[in-house]
Amino acid sequence: MGAIISRMLWFFVVASAVAYAVYLVAGTMVHAQESRENQAVIIRDELGPGVHHLSGMIVVPSSCDQLSVRTEEITDYTYELIFRTWREPSVDCTNEEVPRYFRTILIAPATGVTFTASFDATGFPVIVVPIIASRT
């Protein structure tokens, strides 16, 4: 009878350890999905002769956060979109994420340009969708 109880105890310990390991691995994957850490921001790039009109939406941490964007040339054909936020001090706000629209203009060659992005000094992935401007 003692051997059965000993085996059941070992089975319980091993099953608990495996369940906890699965919880840790699956929990970090679910947290990364929910927090949008790995989600790319889609940016519309309306192309003109030597100019890029970049626009899109980005999520800021709270309703008090305002958004600014500027571009910086890294190399001849690589540009970084630098997003910064600042809090509006005179307004009461909620701490839930809010989407903010952005728009910027970049003078650069129409082809061969790549973009990187940072949000408050933290890099994040972007997908730039080029659209040729139609003038009618």
Dump pLDDT digits (tens) for 13-66. Answer: 888 888 887 787 777 766 555 555 568 899 999 988 889 999 999 998 888 888
Do residues 1 and 48 share a domain?
no
- Whether 54 and 121 map to the same domain: the answer is yes
The pTM of this model reads 0.67
Task: Provide the β-strand partners of residue 73.
Answer: 79
How many CB atoms are located within 10 Å of the residue 53 CB? 15
Asked whether residue 18 falls in the same domain as residue 75, the answer is: no
pLDDT at 7: 87
Which pLDDT score, from 0 to 100, does residue 48 have? 85
Whether residues 51 and 26 share a domain: the answer is no
Residue 110 and residue 51 in one domain: yes
Indicate the SS3 state at residue 40: coil
Q: Is 17 found in the same domain as 52?
A: no
| Range in 22-26, 103-107, 132-136 with the lowest mean pLDDT | 132-136
Q: Say whether both 71 and 16 belong to one domain.
A: no
- Is the pLDDT at 134 greater than 70? The verdict is no
How many domains, in total, are found in the chain?
2
Q: Is there a single domain that holds both residue 63 and residue 80?
A: yes
Give residue 113's domain range: 41-132
Specify the pLDDT at position 78: 93
More confident of the two residues 28 and 124: 124
**Which pLDDT value is given to residue 85?**
92
Mean pLDDT of the chain: 85
- The answer for residues whose C-beta is within 8 angstroms of residue 60's C-beta and 6 or more apart is 66, 67, 85, 97, 98, 99, 100
Over pLDDT 70: what percentage of the chain?
Answer: 90
